[in-house]
């Protein structure tokens, strides 16, 4: 790969490893193991595998390595490790780094499974976790301690799309020597340069925009070579969170169109948010780059565009939200995001059902809130679909 290549070129070509057959499309090496010519070679490889040498697919695989190298090239990271799912990535990134007695500061508005790792798993193993309102920079500063080992945040929260000033949080965290781990799913690799903004470790659920067509689970952790190979890899290769070579191939192909897809989806999401803003039937329209967004100024510094997801709050509460969902003809009711198909979610009764009414209220997850992941359909058709469903309410 040339250092001069821009992101879109990297997304198509970076990381390619051609076999002796000279295939155009990346090969799927659907193999668990690798053979050695001699016993001596096996011994040597176990001692220290070379750059293009593999031992066992739980440790690494050529197709998986292609995916890791390609996403690292796009993100501007020294290295990457691919995982079976986004949650294997979040768990690996944190667990490999922490030990009993460490302190972690985390934003409060987290994806349910991330909250489980921070609030349940880590605490059970003796890690002290302090939760803060991620948009409150003074709260981050106040929570930091000399023994704070890591900071965790989702750069944009789900489903209320709060934007965290990553640059400010990273400066505070680095002042006590803490590692900044960022779940950057909602911002996507296209619109956010989390490493440049100060993140040390960036995590993606590849299940979302990177696949982008609802097929495979996957995840990836990106960071320095030192962190990925010395801290993360030993943990992940022995605990079994490896990505399947088949899924890595799907993700590789997804990367080739990632930029185009995310741009088109963002265009539509922006247009829909602007069209709905001020609609009398809605209490709120939430989209990071709308002038009415509480952190619009931070959002514009953190991300080049507003992303592919918006949330709307129907004035009639849950009954209105359900009628709206059920009346949609193009958009489907599901819980994924970043997909070519537009997807609507009612967080209060699905993804955030397990939270108490009070917890939901703190996070702004009202009964009328609907999350819309905008897909690749014709934007005019999507707007008509939303309008007819609002009328049906």
Ligand X SMILES: *Cc1c(COP(=O)(O)O)cnc(C)c1O
Nearer to ligand X, 49 or 214 (CB): 214
Contacts with ligand X by CB under 6 A lie at 85-87, 90, 111, 113-114, 154, 158, 183, 185, 205, 207-208, 217, 219
- Alpha-carbon distance of 80 to 72, in angstroms, equals 6
Give every CB contact of residue 190 below 8 A, 6+ residues apart in sequence.
7, 209, 258, 259, 262, 263, 266, 304
Q: For ligand X, which is the closer residue by CB, 95 or 320?
A: 95
Query: Whose Cβ is closer to ligand X: residue 194's or residue 379's?
Result: 194
Q: Which residues pair with 370 in a beta bridge?
A: 312
Shortest Å distance, C-beta 233 to ligand X: 19
Q: Which residue is nearest to ligand X (CB)?
A: 86
Nearer to ligand X, 15 or 92 (CB): 92
C-alpha dist (Å) from residue 344 to 29, 51, 384: 36, 44, 15
For the bound state, the minimum distance from the C-beta of residue 156 to ligand X, rounded and expressed in Å, comes to 8
Nearer to ligand X, 61 or 85 (CB): 85
Closest to ligand X by CB, 186 vs 227, is 186
70, 75, 79, 81 alpha-carbon torsion, rounded to 10°:
-70
Cα–Cα distance between 249 and 293 in angstroms, integer? 38
Which H/E stretch holds residue 319?
A: helix 317-327
CA distance 64 to 54: 11
Identity of the residue, 179 or 373, whose beta carbon is nearer to ligand X in the bound complex: 373
Rounded to a whole number of angstroms, the minimum distance from the CB of residue 205 to ligand X is 3
Nearer to ligand X, 114 or 264 (CB): 114
Q: How far is the CB of 86 from ligand X (least distance, A)?
A: 2
Least gap, CB of 337 to ligand X (angstroms): 6
Structure-token pair, residue 278: 């001020």
Minimum CB separation of residue 316 from ligand X in Å reads 27
Exposure class string for 322-342: b at 16+ Cβ within 10 A, else e: bebbebbebbeeeeebbbbbb
d(CA 349, CA 316): 15
Containing 83, the helix (H) or strand (E) segment is strand 79-83
Closest approach, Cβ 357 to ligand X, in A, equals 23
**How far apart are the C-alpha atoms of 370 and 207, rounded to whole Å?**
21
Count of residues in the chain: 393
Listed residue (246, 214, 185, 207) closest to 376, CA to CA: 214
CB of 206 to ligand X, least distance (A): 7
């Amino acid at each position: 790969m040339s250092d001069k290549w821009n992101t879109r070129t990297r997304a198509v070509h970076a990381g390619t490893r051609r076999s002796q057959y000279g295939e155009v499309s990346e090969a799927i090496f659907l193999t668990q193991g690798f053979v050695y010519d001699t016993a001596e070679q096996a011994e040597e490889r176990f001692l220290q595998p070379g750059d293009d040498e593999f031992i066992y697919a739980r440790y690494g695989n050529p197709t998986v390595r292609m995916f890791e190298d390609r996403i690292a090239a796009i993100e501007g990271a020294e290295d990457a490790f691919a995982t079976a799912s986004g949650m294997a990535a979040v768990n690996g990134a944190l667990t490999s780094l922490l030990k009993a007695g460490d302190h972690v500061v985390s934003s409060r508005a987290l994806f349910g499974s991330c909250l489980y790792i921070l609030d349940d798993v880590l605490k059970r193993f003796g890690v002290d976790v302090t939760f803060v309102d991620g948009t409150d920079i003074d709260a981050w500063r106040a929570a930091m301690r000399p023994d704070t080992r890591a900071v965790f945040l989702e750069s944009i929260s789900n489903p209320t799309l709060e934007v965290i000033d990553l640059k400010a949080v990273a400066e505070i965290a680095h002042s006590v020597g803490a590692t900044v781990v960022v779940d950057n799913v909602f911002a996507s690799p296209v619109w956010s340069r989390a490493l440049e903004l100060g993140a040390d470790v960036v995590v993606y659920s590849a299940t979302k925009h990177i696949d982008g067509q609802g097929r495979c689970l996957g995840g990836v952790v990106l960071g320095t070579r030192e962190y990925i190979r010395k801290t993360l890899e030993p943990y992940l290769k022995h605990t079994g969170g490896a990505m399947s070579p088949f899924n890595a191939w799907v993700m590789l192909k997804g990367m080739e169109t990632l930029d185009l897809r995310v741009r088109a989806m963002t265009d539509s999401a922006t247009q829909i948010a602007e069209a709905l803003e001020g609609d009398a039937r809605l209490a709120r329209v939430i989209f990071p780059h709308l002038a009415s967004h509480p952190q619009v100024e931070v959002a514009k510094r953190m991300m080049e565009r507003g992303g592919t997801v918006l949330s709307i709050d129907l004035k009639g509460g849950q009954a209105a939200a359900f009628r709206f969902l059920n009346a949609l003809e193009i958009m489907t009711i599901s819980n994924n995001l970043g997909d070519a198909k537009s997807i609507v979610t009612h967080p209060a009764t699905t993804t955030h059902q397990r939270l108490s009414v009070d917890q939901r209220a703190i996070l702004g997850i009202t009964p009328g809130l609907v999350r819309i992941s905008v897909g690749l359909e014709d934007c005019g058709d999507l707007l008509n679909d939303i309008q007819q469903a609002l009328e049906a309410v």
